[in-house]
Amino acid sequence: MTPGRAVGWSPRRPIVLVGPMGSGKSTVGAALGRALGLERLDADELFEADHGPIPEYFTAHGEPAFRRAEEQVIDEALRRPGPRVLSLGGGAVLSALTRSRLAACHVVFLTVDEEVALRRLGGGEGRPVLAGDPGRTWRRILAEREGLYREVSDWTVDTTGRTAHQLAETITRLVREAETASPTPGAVHP
């Protein structure tokens, strides 16, 4: 696939999607990669290809080991040549090293309504960090990480009620404008 083939333009830097579980990072990342004709990578998929299923790794090795391995997977993905779309796991921003590496990327913070996120997550099945009370745990995790998502992001885009195609169009427009007109980063876009 030729980068930028679909829109006649290709970003100069990787586009990275961050946000809480259920915000649509994987789905939007796939649509954005298709729209831009770019390689699309998903940090969770890359992790599982190297280390096996995340819930099993998390249980067997604990969160600190998981985060270290996740950090390495993300570093390798960001070191690949050329522009690409990379979707990160919800907790990837907990790593100071990962946050520093994101400075060289276009980063989009995807937000979502809690009810929609929990519906997308199927009540938290297969998500070890949501064990117990998924809603309360999701809110707590978002509260702990939201400042980090905002810290690393150039834009905030709400995914609630929007299709992956619509979101890909919005993100493409934002990145393209940034590379041609340098608008103020950090702006919130519905």
**Average pLDDT across the chain, whole number:** 89
Q: How far apart are CA 37 and CA 65, in angstroms?
A: 34
Sign, CA dihedral 75-48-67-16, equals: positive
Beta bridge partners of 109: 18, 156
Predicted confidence (pLDDT) per residue in 116-155, tens digit? 998 888 866 667 677 778 889 899 999 999 999 999 999 9
Question: Backbone dihedral region of 132: left (phi > 0), alpha (psi from -120 to 50 degrees) or beta?
Answer: left
- Average pLDDT on 158-186 reads 86
pLDDT band, residue 7 (cuts 50/70/90) = low
* pLDDT tops 90 at residue 180: no
pLDDT of 166: 97
How far does CA 73 lie from the centroid of its chain? 14
The CATH superfamily holding the domain 15-189 is: P-loop containing nucleotide triphosphate hydrolases (3.40.50.300)
CA atoms within a 13 Å half-sphere pointing along the CA-CB vector of 111: 16
What are the sequence ranges of the domains in the chain? 15-189
